[in-house]
């Protein structure tokens, strides 16, 4: 069923060409040639469609971390199927209020975080992730990239690219952010947000895209570009550093932290970040 859905999506994307051809046949008795597309075509170099029944460990590593992910987050990251699994054609990262423990350390919440480090590392390209987001006060999903080699030093001197992050208490808005400059606390960042014209990101799947070139990055949601960035800097090297090195992808679902605050009585658990596919083009 999922493969049929993806085929339907591709056919829908080609619908304008099909309609032009049919119109030409009706009016002129012959098909009109579609307009030439002069945009350079990128090649799919890495992808995961999550069509199987388990995570592909040749593509993903799973975080096991009893102390969250920093930023005063409240979750413990585990590799349990309760927190990380593939089912019904989707990656599921699930946040739970279950007092899970690792190596004798218990935390109130548990969740999942995966990465492509040393399995998928790229310099420049287009990253597309189709996902459905969770909802609720204190819920913090993210699709982001970190440097594989830390060529310019510790965070954030070597950079961080946030393709999508989101506060569960404002479910109609996502953000795209860059972190750069020097090592903490000499770092800085730039950010912009995109709001849905109607509905929320928790109601259906959306495609989050980063187009990353040597001196330009463009963030899009469902094909709508909402941010273009051409200015950043590094304390260690000339522009376009630090974003001239290889980066890897991370997907995670955090609970709490300075960005979103703690869950409250209105926050329902479990919450899920569902990912339909990840595709990287160069």
* DSSP output for 165-203: E--TTSTTEEEEEEEEESSTTSEEEEEEEEE-SSS-TTT
* Residue 44 falls in which region: left (phi positive, over 0), alpha (psi -120 to 50) or beta: beta
CA dist., res. 241 & res. 45, Å (int): 24
CA dist., res. 45 & res. 122, Å (int): 10
Predicted pLDDT of residue 258:
94
The domain spans of the chain are 1-38, 39-281
**What digits encode the pLDDT tens for the residues 263-278?**
999 999 999 999 999 9
The three-class DSSP label of residue 78 is coil
CA dist., res. 115 & res. 93, Å (int): 12
CA dist., res. 122 & res. 243, Å (int): 11
Cβ within 8 Å of residue 6, ≥6 positions away: 49, 277
Predicted pLDDT of residue 41:
67
Active-site residues, by number, are 160, 165
CATH 3.20.20.70 at 39-281, yes or no: no
Find how far residue 152's CA is from the centre of its chain.
24
Predicted pLDDT of residue 156:
97
Is residue 231 within 8 Å of 243, Cβ to Cβ? no
**What digits encode the pLDDT tens for the residues 52-75?**
999 999 999 999 999 888 899 999
Residue (of 177, 168, 163) closest to 128 by Cα position: 163
Predicted pLDDT of residue 70:
81
Half-sphere exposure of 145 (CA within 13 A, CB side): 33
Predicted pLDDT of residue 277:
98
pTM greater than the 0.85 cutoff:
yes
Q: Is the peptide bond before 185 cis (omega within 30 degrees of 0)?
A: yes
CA dist., res. 187 & res. 257, Å (int): 19
In the numeric block, the tokens 């510790």 are attached to 154
One pLDDT digit (tens) per residue for the chain, 282 residues? 555 555 454 444 434 333 333 333 333 333 333 333 334 568 999 999 999 999 999 999 999 999 888 899 999 999 999 999 999 999 999 999 999 998 889 999 999 999 999 999 999 999 999 999 999 999 999 999 999 999 999 999 999 999 999 999 999 999 999 999 999 999 999 999 999 999 999 999 999 999 999 999 999 999 999 999 999 999 999 999 999 999 999 999 999 999 999 999 999 999 999 999 999 999
């Amino acid at each position: 069923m999922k493969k049929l859905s993806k085929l339907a999506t591709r056919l829908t994307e080609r619908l304008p060409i099909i309609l032009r051809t049919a119109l030409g046949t009706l009016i002129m008795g012959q098909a009109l040639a579609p307009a030439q597309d002069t945009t350079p075509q990128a090649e799919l170099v890495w992808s995961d469609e999550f069509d199987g029944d388990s995570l592909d460990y040749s593509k993903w590593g799973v975080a096991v971390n009893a102390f969250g992910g920093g930023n005063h987050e409240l979750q413990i990251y585990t590799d349990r199927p309760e927190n990380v699994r593939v089912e019904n054609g989707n990656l599921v990262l699930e946040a739970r209020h279950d007092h899970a423990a690792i190596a004798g350390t218990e935390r109130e919440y548990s969740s999942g975080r995966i990465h492509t480090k040393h399995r998928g590392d790229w310099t420049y390209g287009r990253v597309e992730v189709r996902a459905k987001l969770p909802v609720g006060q204190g819920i913090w999903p993210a699709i982001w990239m970190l440097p594989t080699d830390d060529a310019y030093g510790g965070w954030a001197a070597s950079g961080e690219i946030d393709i999508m992050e989101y506060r569960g208490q404002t479910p109609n808005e996502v953000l795209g952010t860059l972190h750069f400059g020097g090592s903490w606390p000499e770092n800085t960042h730039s950010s912009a947000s995109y709001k849905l014209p109607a509905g929320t990101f928790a109601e259906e799947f959306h495609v989050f895209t980063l187009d990353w070139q040597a001196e330009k990055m463009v963030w899009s949601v469902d094909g709508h570009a909402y941010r273009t960035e051409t200015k950043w800097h590094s304390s260690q090297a000339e522009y376009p550093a630090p974003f001239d090195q290889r980066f890897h992808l991370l997907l995670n679902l955090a609970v709490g932290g300075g960005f979103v605050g703690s869950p409250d009585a209105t926050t329902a658990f479990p919450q899920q970040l569902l990912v339909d596919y990840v595709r990287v083009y160069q």
